[in-house]
């Protein structure tokens, strides 16, 4: 939901407000974010205000109120974001892969991951079955040992977790999840969706990060975890 610079500015304003009770000046913001002019700060503040994270109080100097912080900063998930990230064209000589054919983690600066089609952050869609293309990601984004793959996000149900329509999410392939993890969930063997996972008393709740969407509550046997979110790639 926020670009890297927008998030940096929001964190700066929030930390200064908590420490000193007043936001930093525009000059301080400009220097902290390594921007050349204050016009860039104006644009970032306007974007934060339009998205409902801050409010500017009229007729008062340096009067900025932080209304809320992204859900992604609540400690449960902090996405690793790459700006840009154009994907490579599909190799016609390679056969489509299932998620189980994801590339193994290697000790390298970057590696190519298969993009296994689209994943619904909204109403569930058909399960992912084929590689549409590949994308290069830094090795630092990949979480621990194991295999990883990528998916293109379709829908807006996870926007309050910083995941937008059209983003590429990096998934570590696994079949288990802790409460609060954002996972790829296969519902009844047919529908794949990206949601926050919670399990209790034999039931699984698949929670959206957008108040416009209701939580889906399903018997545990109807939900199969296919992977956990470990990174995010955003194109502009």
CB under 8 Å to 34, separation ≥6 — which residues?
none
Q: What phi and psi, each to the nearest 5 degrees, are found at residue 171?
A: -120, 130
Which residue spans within 139-222 are E strands per DSSP? Answer: 147-154, 168-173, 182-187, 191-200, 203-207, 216-219
Concerning whether 157 is annotated as a catalytic residue, the answer is yes
Q: Count CB-CB contacts under 10 A for residue 61.
A: 7
Catalytic member of 25, 100, 132, 195: 195
| CA 218, 119, 232, 158 torsion-angle sign | negative
The Cα–Cα gap between 51 and 163 comes to 14
For residues 227 and 174, is the Cβ–Cβ distance under 8 A?
yes
DSSP for 5-66 reads HHHHHHHHHHHHHHHHSSPPPHHHHHHHTT-SSHHHHHHHHHHHHHTTSEEEPTTSTT-EEE
Q: Which of 38, 154, 157, 235 is catalytic?
A: 157
Asked whether the CA dihedral 177, 70, 142, 223 is positive or negative, the reply is positive
Residues marked as catalytic:
157, 195
């Amino acid at each position: 939901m926020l670009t890297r610079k927008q998030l940096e500015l929001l964190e700066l304003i929030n930390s200064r407000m908590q420490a000193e009770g007043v936001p930093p000046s525009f000059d301080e913001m400009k220097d902290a974010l390594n921007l050349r002019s204050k016009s860039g700060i104006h644009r970032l503040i306007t974007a934060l205000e339009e998205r409902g994270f801050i409010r500017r109080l009229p007729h008062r100097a340096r009067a900025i109120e932080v209304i809320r912080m992204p859900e992604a900063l609540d400690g449960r998930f902090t996405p690793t974001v790459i700006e840009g990230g154009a994907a490579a064209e599909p190799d016609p000589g390679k056969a489509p892969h299932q998620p189980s054919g994801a590339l193994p983690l290697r000790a390298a600066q970057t590696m190519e991951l298969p993009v296994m089609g689209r994943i619904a952050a909204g109403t569930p869609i058909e399960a992912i079955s084929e590689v549409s293309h590949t994308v290069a990601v830094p090795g630092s984004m990949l979480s621990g040992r194991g295999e990883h793959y990528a998916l293109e996000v379709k829908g807006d149900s996870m926007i309050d977790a910083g995941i937008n329509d059209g983003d590429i999410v990096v998934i570590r392939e696994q079949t288990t999840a802790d409460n609060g993890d954002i996972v790829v969930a296969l519902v009844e063997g047919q529908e794949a969706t990206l949601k926050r996972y919670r399990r209790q008393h034999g039931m699984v709740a698949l929670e959206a990060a957008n108040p416009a969407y209701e939580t889906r509550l399903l018997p545990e046997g109807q939900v199969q975890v296919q992977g956990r979110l470990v990174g995010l790639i955003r194109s502009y």
